[in-house]
Amino acid sequence: MTLCVDVVIIGAGPAGMSASNMIHEYGGRAVILDEQSEPGGQIYKAIDRVMRDRPNELSWLGSAYHDGARLTKKFRSQAKDYQPGSMVWHIECRNLDGLYNIFYSQAGVSKKIETKYIVIATGAMERPVPIPGWTLPGVMTVGAVQSVLKNSGMYPSGKLVLAGAGPLVLQLASQLIGAGISILAILDTSPKGSFLKALRHFPRALFAGDYLYKGWNLTNKIMQSNIKVYRNVTELNASGDGRLQNLSFKVNETKHCLKADTLALHEGILPNVQLTRLLDLEHVWSPRQRSFSPVVNSWGETSLSGVFVVGDGAGVSGARTAEYSGAIAGIIILERLEYIKESQRDLIIEDRKFRRLLDEGIRPFLDTLFPAPERIGEVPDKTIICRCEEITAAEIREVVKKGCSGPNQAKAFLRCGMGICQGRMCGTSVTEVMSKALEKKPADVGAFRVRPPIKPLSLEEIVTLNDN
């Protein structure tokens, strides 16, 4: 007996919660499958628990984080079919009746659900930043440190170095400063002249002026603290015996060395495309964000009728835009299910589209101020690109010399992307390295195919699936 429903929303971050809130607001029902144990996604991770158990931490976690409670409160009160801890591992399109089968795993037991509509709201991940030594324990991402901070009220206790560029670096630094945690150094990798280039987009950014104000505050806070900030950092290396111990890097040809226990890397974020690639949807390469994202129309629908992608998973635009996009997809589905009239639908959509347009005003400015790094295609030969199978940039360059023409052939020849993370950590880097080596645009190089299951699960779980 398979459950058949109208809508399944995958992900309970701002986009997923907002879609759910909209659908429930007008009497619809949706099943929400989220991998995490609490709603909020990455950005509002654990917000409800922080408010309940650690409210004193809210002051320095910041108002943007606190804002998430607005969504989670409504979400929890309305979404009766919210299923936390549910990992979706396969989606099947049924050609006969146009329905979709969603396979997911809960506490080691797999189930199947049939649905008419799917809202994919699986968000983004941080761009993996291959540097020599990045597989050492102690090398993490800025988002990882922030995630522990929000989720568990913990902070790195040893010597902490942040390296990279992007709003998230400023935000984490400011949060740690607020909490009184010391940061040994910030290594700013954004290239010279980014600010001047970004000024061109300043007028449009004024439409989302509160971001500029916040950014200004964050920057000030860091400048007023006595954290050592190195600018124009290049050639970052991590080393150590079984864990991170030393960092070296260059600033304008001068070599610097630091002792460190935790290194938090960050070079912007990428859409999480596992599900959209699994569905074999068309993807486009964004030269500005240096990432692939699925092609969607203005209300988030993909080339597969009834399948929507909303939020950062459809191209990185931040939490507020994600919220508007989630609501728009929700309202389209409500109308198709005849919960509301077309005129009502259009009214709400126009409102959300207008607000989204204003909010998106900040993007060109941000993307130019913190440009996606072009250097990943040029990382040193010895750098590990595929962490699972430990394939280096040199090995990828070598097979390219011997006629290998694309990521899928490289995967076959090297096992690169065949490991346990299923290509999540090396996919974009392989495209970048091959793009440079082949002298072809990333869009023409392409990307790994994604095959089910998109997360590992035990054979026993599959054998017993039909009993559930």
Please choose, out of 74-82, 125-133, 163-171, 325-333, the segment that lies near another protein by the rule CB under 8 A.
Answer: 125-133
Q: Is 463 in the site for another protein (CB under 8 A)?
A: yes
List of residues 6+ apart from 252 with CB closer than 8 A: 232
Please report, to the nearest 10 degrees, the dihedral formed by the alpha carbons of residues 205, 226, 135, 455 taken in order.
-40
> Which pair of structure tokens corresponds to residue 460?
């026993």
Residue 389 has φ and ψ, to the nearest 5°, of -95, 0
Please report, to the nearest 10 degrees, the dihedral formed by the alpha carbons of residues 328, 330, 331, 334 taken in order.
160
User: Nearest-5° angle of CA 417, CA 263, CA 218?
Assistant: 115
Least distance between another protein and beta carbon 425 (Å): 5
Least distance between another protein and beta carbon 90 (Å): 6
List of residues 6+ apart from 373 with CB closer than 8 A: 127, 129, 165, 189, 267, 268, 290
Q: Is 6 in the site for another protein (CB under 8 A)?
A: no
Q: Is the peptide bond before 453 cis (omega within 30 degrees of 0)?
A: yes
> Residues of 85-105 as b/e, b for ≥16 C-beta within 10 angstroms?
ebbbbbbeeeeeeeebebbbb
- Comparing CB distances to another protein, the nearer of 208 and 416 is 416
Q: Is 117 in the site for another protein (CB under 8 A)?
A: no
Least distance between another protein and beta carbon 349 (Å): 31
- Comparing CB distances to another protein, the nearer of 337 and 465 is 465
Least distance between another protein and beta carbon 60 (Å): 10
List of residues 6+ apart from 404 with CB closer than 8 A: 410, 413
Q: Is 462 in the site for another protein (CB under 8 A)?
A: yes
- Comparing CB distances to another protein, the nearer of 147 and 194 is 147
For residues 293 and 284, the answer to whether their CB atoms sit within 8 Å is: yes
Q: Is 114 in the site for another protein (CB under 8 A)?
A: no
DSSP track, 265-305: EE--EEE--HHHHHTT--EEEETTTTEEEE---TTSB-SST
Least distance between another protein and beta carbon 136 (Å): 8
Q: Report how far residue 415's alpha carbon sits from residue 408's, in angstroms, rounded to the nearest whole number.
A: 10
Least distance between another protein and beta carbon 381 (Å): 17
Per-residue contact flags (x/-) with another protein for residues 23 to 42, judged by CB under 8 A: ------------xxxx---x
For residues 372 and 289, the answer to whether their CB atoms sit within 8 Å is: yes
Q: Which of 16, 28, 68, 156 binds another protein (CB under 8 A)?
A: 156
Q: Is 76 in the site for another protein (CB under 8 A)?
A: no
For residues 102 and 115, the answer to whether their CB atoms sit within 8 Å is: yes
Q: Is 451 in the site for another protein (CB under 8 A)?
A: yes
Of residues 127 through 146, those in contact with another protein by CB under 8 A are: 128, 134-141, 143-145
Per-residue contact flags (x/-) with another protein for residues 368 to 387, judged by CB under 8 A: -------------------x
Per-residue contact flags (x/-) with another protein for residues 261 to 300, judged by CB under 8 A: xx---------x----------------------------
- Comparing CB distances to another protein, the nearer of 196 and 463 is 463
For residues 101 and 94, the answer to whether their CB atoms sit within 8 Å is: yes
- Comparing CB distances to another protein, the nearer of 146 and 189 is 146
DSSP 3-state of 102 = strand
Helix (H) or strand (E) holding 110: strand 109-120
Q: Which of 125, 233, 247, 331 binds another protein (CB under 8 A)?
A: 125
- Comparing CB distances to another protein, the nearer of 139 and 362 is 139
| HSE, side-chain direction, 13 A CA sphere, residue 97 | 8
Q: Which of 54, 76, 221, 397 binds another protein (CB under 8 A)?
A: 54
43 closest CA partner among 25, 19, 70, 21: 70
Q: Is 357 in the site for another protein (CB under 8 A)?
A: no
Q: Which of 5, 29, 49, 114 binds another protein (CB under 8 A)?
A: 49
Per-residue contact flags (x/-) with another protein for residues 387 to 426, judged by CB under 8 A: xxxx--------x--xxxxxxxx--xxxx--xxxxx-xx-
Q: Which of 226, 242, 338, 467 binds another protein (CB under 8 A)?
A: 242
Q: Which of 65, 75, 100, 103 binds another protein (CB under 8 A)?
A: 103
DSSP 3-state of 264 = strand
Least distance between another protein and beta carbon 39 (Å): 13
Q: Is 152 in the site for another protein (CB under 8 A)?
A: yes
111 closest CA partner among 93, 92, 94, 88: 88
Per-residue contact flags (x/-) with another protein for residues 177 to 206, judged by CB under 8 A: --x---------------------------
